[in-house]
Structure 1
Amino acid sequence: MALRRAKNSIHAGLAPARPRAPTVAIESLDGFGWGLIGASTIAREYMVDAIRRSGGRPLSVMSHDGARAAGFARDLDIPDSCSDLDALLADRRIGAVYISSTNTQHRHQVLAAAAAGKHVLCDKPLATRSTDALKMVRACEKAGVVLAVNHHLRSSPVHQTMQRMIAAGEIGAVRSLMIVHAGYLRPVLQSWRIKDAAEGGIYLDLSVHDIDLASFLLEQTPVTAVALGAGVALGSNTVHDHAMYALKMSGGTFVQVHESFVTPDVESQVVALGSEGALIAAGTLAQRSTGTLMRRVNGRNESIPLRANDLYADTVEQFLGAIAGTGSPRATGRDGLAALAGAEAVGKAASTGRAAAVKRHE
């Protein structure tokens, strides 16, 4: 009976997302025009397909390297390419942009898109500083455009089921959450992520994801962080590739996280420990809908069956629903801001060896 309640429950304690005023008629979203800002690996491997599966049309791709943009457009059958942001934003056929450039470019590009009246789906992190992210959130709110952040782990059916079960009290009061998010960074990604300190290293790559996931599962935000971090193999003293940290959340739950770019053959884990049982997810911290979920109560393990989905297509569909005024993005701009503020505190705690408070932004 408890499992049946979990599957059918609404997020306890949360009011339903308030639909925003529509800026695009929902019937016109089929064939909706998109611009891609950044000829990135994630756009190439996942997002162009996700946009098309939602009925959208990628119309142009922009990169500061014009030849890279042209090659990307040719490979993925996108009609136009350019190396000028203003040119892409001036295209009246484009209603939304997907931003997947390097982290340090997000601030300028989101602000420019908002000024041009384009809805924005931005890859994480929203910015490299939470003060900048707050300006971006406010600019989009003022412009009346949707700002969403590509925290795709929220779209996992495993994580969505965990959130519902936690909210419904299926394992009692959750006292601790543990996350292991590790592996070996693919060679194609061993560039600015671990070469340029301004890009934030592991904290602005994995930590923002894991902190957002913890906030999503627990419906709490991070308050304080303690951390250890280092450049073990791919990074350096200033760009960490290996970290462990703990967070105290706003509701009092403790969160413990291990992240690494330099430990191969690790299966990810997300474990929620409650007063009446535990939820154990394995293999879910991926870019595809994978993994298993088990509930342990009274010394017995119960496997919970789930149906896979396309994480990025789900993210895009929720974003389009927000544009149409029928719902909210999976992760809003303010969700991205909260995750970034948490990652900032983790990075500060790792560099100073002291507990760091998470900045609060209203």
Structure 2
Amino acid sequence: MSAVRWGVLTTARIAQNRFLPAMRTARNAVVSAISSPNGRASEVATRFGIPVAYTSHEELLADPNIEAVYLPFPNGLHTDWIIAAAEAGKDILCEKPLVGSAEDYARVVEACARNGVNLMEAFMYRFHPQHQKVREFIDTGRIGQIVSLHARFHFVMDRTPGEVRLQTGLEGGAVNDVGCYAIDIMNMVMGRAPESVYGKGTSRTDAVDTTVAAILDYGDVLGTLDCGFEGPRTNSFQVIGTEGQITLDKAFDPQPGEIARVTVSLRDGRTESFDIGEDQFKTEIERFSAWVRSPGPELIHRELTEQNLAVRLALHESLATGLPSTVKEIHAAEHHQPVQEHS
């Protein structure tokens, strides 16, 4: 089976630091073009051995050699570029969070269905095998019944001029940048969205909330998250059950070469740890490329995308009102080519 020919739109940091290095080792994918109007595409193309550099994204989308595209744009630009890529007939891997409103979600789903292209929200962490281990422990009853979930994702942001994650007009802020991971992993473990969410956000100097904490009410299970741009890097996750607990020390973003540790601690005092290494960007690229070649059940459903959006909208409402907010279901119109997710 031939390698899927990818185009990368923009020379964003995540593309240069994580996606393009991972692409070099992917077995079924190759970057055939990169685009940027800022004049850096040629330099990045030379550094990564990419054969074609375009000075506009429109030129890349018009290239008939490109089959799939990676979109690492600022959040507020996702919708328009997803639709543009769909209209160009490209399969689309778009960075999280996919979109910021139910209306935009309906628009991108319709565009992809109408043009017969695949779309996936790039939550790369789901492709790390540590989460399969967590699922195994839960499904086999190793920790009993789930009681609570606790997710944290913090890092110190480099406040360079024009930082897009600090701009309200580009859907910046802690919830959309890192809190979405915490929301996603709890929904993935529970298999559903919470009934309601109650959050509090703060910021010392910025127009967006740069530190956020929230409670997610799943009825019989409570989830907590805290996230932000102000504190030392941490991205941990814990599942507490009636018979034990599971702890992940690098739940969302182990750096290249880092080992992620899954620890199971039981009520009887026994503890087991499992060290797992994987480049989750590489696995994400390979799985999406396999899906491009042969769409099927391995990448399933769009529910996680819909649940994540629903919870983020409720959390933003709670942050604005200071009150708990009900999580309202979001469903795009049914169609033959669903937005697919790994689970």
Shorter-chain TM-score bucket reads 0.7 to 0.9
Cα distance in 2 for partners of 1:199, 1:165 equals 36
After TM superposition, give the deviation of residue 332 of structure 1 in Å: 6.0
Structure 1 residues 268 and 190: CA distance shift in structure 2, 3 A: farther
Matched, 1:297 2:266: yes
Cα distance change of structure 1 residues 208 and 247 upon mapping to structure 2, 3 Å threshold: same
Match of 2:56, as an amino acid? Answer: D
- Do the aligned residues in 1 keep the contact of 2:250 with 2:261 (CA within 8 Å)? yes
Aligned to 1:14: none
Contact 1:34 1:57 in 2 (8 A): yes
1:220-256 Cα deviation digits (max 9, x unpaired): 2233110000113xx52x301101001123x742110
**Which residue of 163, 173, 193 corresponds with 1:201?**
173
Report the Cα distance in structure 1 between the residues aligned to 2:62 and 2:315, rounded to whole angstroms.
39
Q: Partner of 2:32 in structure 1?
A: 59
Q: 1:327 to 1:164 in 2, by over 3 A?
A: farther
Equivalent residue in structure 1 for 2:142, among 146, 162, 170: 170
Choose which of 309, 315, 322 in structure 2 pairs with 1:353.
322
| AA of the residue aligned to 2:31 | P
Give yes or no for the alignment of 1:84 onto 2:56: yes
Partner of 1:246: 215
Query: What is the alpha-carbon distance in structure 1 between the residues aligned to residue 110 and residue 310 of structure 2?
Result: 16
When residues 190 and 254 of structure 1 are mapped into structure 2, their CA distance, relative to the original with a 3 A threshold, is farther
Indicate the SS of the match to 1:208. Answer: helix
* In structure 1, C-alpha distance between the alignment counterparts of 2:213 and 2:321, rounded to whole Å: 14
Whole-angstrom CA distance in 2 between matches of 1:307 and 1:291: 5
- Summarize deviations over 1:91-126 as a string: whole Å, max 9, x none: 111000000011111101111111221110000111
- DSSP-derived class of the 2:328 partner: coil
| Alignment deviations for residues 257-285 of structure 1 (CA, whole Å, 9 cap, x no partner) | 01121012x54321111122211222333
Please give the per-residue CA displacement for 1:141-178, whole angstroms capped at 9, x wherever unaligned. Answer: 33222111110111222222112221232212212101
- Rate the CA distance shift 1:196–1:74 in 2: closer, same or farther, 3 A: farther
Paired residues for 1:209-358 under 5 Å: 209-232=181-204, 235-236=205-206, 238-249=207-218, 252-264=220-232, 266-288=233-255, 290-325=259-294, 327=296, 334-358=303-327
- The 8 Å contact of residues 194 and 217 in structure 2, kept in 1 or not, is answered as yes
In structure 2, C-alpha distance between the alignment counterparts of 1:341 and 1:83, rounded to whole Å: 36
Q: For the residues of structure 2 that align with 1:332 and 1:112, how far apart are their CA atoms? A: 23
The unaligned stretches of length 5 or more in structure 1 are 1-26
User: CA–CA distance in 2 between the matches of 1:189 and 1:214?
Assistant: 34
What SS does the aligned partner of 1:136 have?
helix
Q: What is the CA-CA distance between 1:214 and the residue it aligns to?
A: 1.3
Which residue matches 2:12?
Answer: 40
Aligned to 2:225, the other structure's residue is in SS state strand
- The alignment covers a number of residue pairs equal to 328
Does the CA contact (< 8 Å) of 1:182 and 1:262 recur in 2?
yes
- 2:238 partner letter: V
**For the residues of structure 2 that align with 1:239 and 1:33, how far apart are their CA atoms?**
38
| Distance in structure 2 (CA, Å) of the matches to 1:215 and 1:200 | 22
Aligned to 1:222, what secondary structure does the other structure show? coil
**Where in structure 2 are there 5+ consecutive unaligned residues?**
332-343
* TM-score, normalised by the number of residues in structure 2: 0.88
- Residue 138 (str. 1) matches residue 110 (str. 2): yes
SS at match of 1:108: helix
Compared with structure 1, are the counterparts of its residues 198 and 46 closer, same or farther at alpha carbon in structure 2 (3 Å cutoff)?
Answer: closer
Amino acid in structure 1 at the alignment position of 2:98: L
CA distance in 1, matches of 2:277, 2:70: 24
Provide the rounded CA distance (Å) in 2 between the counterparts of 1:255 and 1:213: 10
Indicate conservation of the 8 Å contact 1:149/1:331, yes or no.
no
Question: Within 1, Cα distance between the matches of 2:198 and 2:298?
Answer: 30
Cα separation, partners in 2 of 1:340 and 1:38, compared to 1, 3 Å = farther
* 312 and 120 in structure 1: CA distance in 2 versus 1, 3 angstrom threshold: same
- Amino acid in the other structure paired with 2:226: H
Alignment of 1:5-16 (within 5 A): none
Residues 351/329 of structure 1: CA separation in 2 closer, same or farther (3 Å cut): farther
- RMSD across aligned positions (CA): 2.3
- Tell whether the 8 Å contact from 2:8 to 2:31 is kept in structure 1 after alignment: yes
Q: Which residue pairs with 1:20 in the alignment?
A: none
Distance 1:335 1:83 in 2: 35
- Gap change, CA 1:329 and 1:99, over 3 Å in 2: farther
Q: 1:286 corresponds to which letter in structure 2?
A: D
Equivalent residue number for residue 158 of structure 1: 130
Return closer, same or farther for 1:181/1:135 CA change in 2, 3 Å cut-off: same
Once the two structures are overlaid, the 10-residue window that deviates more, 195-204 or 320-329, is 320-329
Take 1:205 and 1:189, find their aligned partners in 2: how far apart are those partners? 18
CA distance in 2, matches of 1:57, 1:189: 33
Partner AA of 2:78 in structure 1: H
Distance 2:45 2:77 in 1: 21
